[in-house]
Amino acid sequence: ADETEQADRTEADDTMKAHPAKRQRARRVDFRGKTYLAPLTTVGNLPFRRVCKGFGVDITCSEMAIANNIVQGQGSELALLKRHASEDIFGVQLAGSRADMVGKAAEFVGRHCDVDFIDLNLGCPVELAFNNGGGSALLAQPRKIERIVRTMAAVVDCDVTVKFRTGIRAPDVAEKLAPQLHAWGAALGTLHGRTRQQRYTRLADWECIGRARDLAAPLPLFGGGDVLSWEDYWDHVETRRQCDGVMVGRGALIKPWLFQEIRERRVWDISASERLDMLRDFARFGLEHWGSDTIGVANTRRFLLEWQSFLCRYVPAGLLEVLPQRINDRPPPFVGRSDLETLMASHNAADWVRISEMVLGPAPPDFAFVPKHKSNSY
């Protein structure tokens, strides 16, 4: 392990010498005050991002891509890097545990992909990434984080951003890491207000985000966690001034029109028929992206159903006794104002298949669906 670490350090140092950091980047993004759709594995695919662009989100990012797989040229990983023409501020998120490998992947993305920024993932909590030393596991190794960020900044002309958590088991990393990111070459930090161990079991710590934001200056710092309403968004950004913007993840999966609510500062009591139109748009975008043959339809259906495991958690604003809906609330089953609205609130996967058939036609007779992402992670 020590030899690997030394080789990683040596190659990263060589990379930085070969590509002296540029004082003036070819492109700079003004991140402050913009809405940002979080990079979301599986469900943050290109058709979903197009839906969110239709509702006015400013910044979009690819699903997490593994640096080693990009360097090896794996087709499935390279497909994640595709940008749609509607994505006017777009980045690619990379995950990896070695500075030399992440640097090579970043250099490839910078040269061959149309991106405005490249994001480093320091937040992924899943065991596969963590046990390989990537994602949130890097939070325990600040010197390695520094080498990775400096290497990325040295080899690309676009902005480098960093997404991280408050810590691994305890919230003891963010306030130490945030003040250093600017000097290492990052253009933006995004802090998810939970530790790796917490996952989604507790509310996000926005007080920690606020302290980290003050410490990160002059680097802009976005926060993330539990935002499901325009009131939440502007409370964090304007009233409490805890961040320079908010990265929205689960909130966008539950109600993508949240970005329009944020811009207009109002609640949209969207109808079931309007939500079905949104799903029709997703189906159309999916067939354009994955193809209209049998495989393309199957992929579109599968990704639509993954998304439906979050969409079903939305409670129509017109039925709520108290606004706004809170993301960690578990509402009881309810009857909607129409049969379609009731169906859309179902947590039964068979009902999700019925909804998919409204926009994609009948599913195969032997079709069954088990969600990859369990939306019971309230």
**Residues annotated as part of the active site:** 124
Cα separation, 254 vs 335, whole angstroms: 18
For 294, half-sphere exposure in the C-beta direction (CA atoms, 13 angstrom radius) is 1
Q: Please tell me the total number of residues recorded for the chain in this structure.
A: 378
Token pair belonging to 212: 């980290």
Cα 77–chain centre separation: 16
Return all residues near 139 (Cβ < 8 A) that are at least 6 apart. Answer: 122, 145, 164, 165, 167, 168, 173, 177, 196
Token pair belonging to 112: 């061959």
Cα separation, 39 vs 287, whole angstroms: 21
At position 336, the amino acid (one-letter code) is G
Region at 264 (left for phi over 0; alpha for psi -120 to 50; beta for the rest): alpha
Neighbours of 365 (CB within 10 A): 5
